[in-house]
Amino acid sequence: MVLVMSQAKFKRKQFMIDHALQLKLTLEMALLPMTGALLAWGNIVIYDELIRLLNLFNIDNQGVSYNWLYVTLIVLVNFIIFISISIVLSHRIAGPLFHINRVLKTLKQGLWFQRVHLRQTDHLKDLADNINELSDELVQRLEHLQQVVSDAKTLAEQQKQAELLNKINAIETQLEYFKTQKPSN
């Protein structure tokens, strides 16, 4: 019952969430059927023009008809063009997603100096920028926390408080997991 209620609360209220991105993707995906229709129309125009030229020069056009070889060749060319466009369009989405995923995995390992670098024309550029800003913010907070722990450790050493010093050392050990700067080689 709780699951059903929580799903009911999460209904999408609008279809266009990111207008620019969704419009761009819609236009790119509409390119495929429009290209197919344009190619089919072009093939018909070429065939009709061929028949018109044959009639213009009084050449017998009885032998000119749609034959299987011609139709197969046209279908094959259209298929190759469709596949090429599909690969280009899918790469513009899958490429950035792959790169973002790879960077997120390195961030998960504590390597906070990693950044998502996408081309200006890539989709999901806003997401990449937000991930980079989040990473920068976390690096600043971690560096501040490391400084506070270092100051607390110095104070605990000066006051010879062993129990507090042990706890600070445990915190330092945990903070060592996060690398906020690229290692120098």
Read off the pLDDT band of 1 (50, 70, 90): very low
Read off the pLDDT band of 116 (50, 70, 90): very high
Say if residue 8's pLDDT is above 60.
Answer: no
Compute the distance between CA of residue 156 and CA of residue 90 in angstroms, rounded to an integer.
Answer: 57
Say if residue 2's pLDDT is above 60.
Answer: no
Read off the pLDDT band of 9 (50, 70, 90): low
**Which spans in the chain are helix H?**
2-9, 19-56, 68-108, 125-158, 162-175
Compute the distance between CA of residue 179 and CA of residue 110 in angstroms, rounded to an integer.
Answer: 6
Domain ranges across the chain: 20-175
What residues are paired with 111 via a beta bridge?
179
0.75 cut: is pTM over it? no
Number of Cβ within 10 Å of residue 35's Cβ equals: 15
Residues 34-41, mean pLDDT to the nearest whole number: 78
Q: What per-residue confidence (pLDDT) applies to 15?
A: 64
pLDDT per residue as tens digits for the range 128-184: 999 999 999 888 988 888 888 888 888 888 888 888 888 888 888 888 877 777 777
Beta carbons of 110 and 178 less than 8 angstroms apart:
yes
Residues 112-134, mean pLDDT to the nearest whole number: 87
Q: Which residue has the tokens 């020069």?
A: 57
Compute the distance between CA of residue 96 and CA of residue 178 in angstroms, rounded to an integer.
Answer: 25
pLDDT per residue as tens digits for the range 69-94: 666 777 788 778 877 877 777 777 77
